[in-house]
Structure 1
Amino acid sequence: MFEQFTHDTRRIVGYAMEEARSLGDKRMGTEHLLLGALHERGPSEALGVSLEDARKAAARLDAAALEAIGFDSKDLTRAAMPTRGRKPPFSSGAKEVMAALLKSAVDQKSRKITASNLVVSLLERGEHDPVTALLQELRVDRAAVRDRLMAQ
């Protein structure tokens, strides 16, 4: 499947892996794919969000989740994680995004999977997906962005 990815889409997956590692996460999830996409100008402009703003929003969501189970996130420090080495495995949600990308390419009779395809797949995730919470925190109008990207 990755051979169908355009160069920028491959870079996005690499950036997503780096985002997961830098956060100390053992799996690369849909939220990491979004952060990875925001390294690229096209997705960042389409969503109207900067990488730095998305990282801050993700940190707020992490803090809120920890506080909900009784941890004060101000007292916690992230464990240092190696920035190179073993690739974090995909979460089930990230695997579903990859499958949706392939299906979308087949449906559109396209030979290439673009960054826009990836962003659309992230925008279509369900209510309980981490990327959905992150997009809500960023106040992204998912339907409007999806419609714009699909019209291209």
Structure 2
Amino acid sequence: MFGRQKTPFHVVIMAAFEEARLRGDRRLGTEHLLLGLLHHQDVARSLGVDLEGARVALDDLDKAALRMLGLEVGDVPKTPRKHPRVPSTALTSSARAAINHAIKATTGRTRAAEAPRQLALTLLAQRRPDPVAQLIDQLMIDRAAVRSRFA
């Protein structure tokens, strides 16, 4: 689906798939796209968030959701488990729409440089109950400030 290009956008998407795999998730969602964007230093700097902090925040959201179901989860071992690769077709509808929007918002000439920025703007526009909206709120990212930095 994403070919073998090594553009910044491709690197972000592949990083998002790797983040989903590391978490043991079967599908790539918008929250994974945000983690993938944090592999892009310029975008991460604009968001004011580091990758490790975002991973911890997402883990905290998962634990809170499980507590709401009456399940208490202790500390998760730091040793990574071997999870299968997430297939490139296993995207949530929100993730697919965000990627398509980022692609359509750029031209063929500007896509390599602009698509990560467009993807970030698309994710910032998401609202609850989308998982990335919850993650953005958990990370206390100021949506308006980030949009102005990208303008």
Query: Which bin holds the TM-score, normalised by the shorter protein?
Result: 0.7 to 0.9
Alpha-carbon distance in 2 for matches of 1:63, 1:93:
22
Normalised by the length of structure 2, the TM-score is 0.84
Q: Deviations over 1:49-91 (max 9, x none)?
A: 0000000100100000000011101177799343657446111
Structure 2: unaligned runs, 5 residues or longer: none
Residue aligning to 1:115: 116
Structure 1: unaligned runs, 5 residues or longer: none
Sequence identity percentage: 37
Alpha-carbon distance in 1 for matches of 2:44, 2:20:
19
Q: CA RMSD in A?
A: 2.7
Give the alignment of 1:1-152 within 5 angstroms: 7-74=7-74, 80-82=81-83, 84=85, 86-87=87-88, 89-105=90-106, 111-112=110-111, 113-149=114-150, 151=151
Normalised by the length of structure 1, the TM-score is 0.84
Equivalent pairs counted in the alignment come to 147
Contact residue 43 and residue 117 of structure 2 kept, 8 A: yes
Contact residue 28 and residue 86 of structure 2 kept, 8 A: no
Q: CA deviation at 1:134?
A: 0.4
Distance 1:104 1:48, change over 3 A: same
Contact residue 30 and residue 122 of structure 1 kept, 8 A: yes
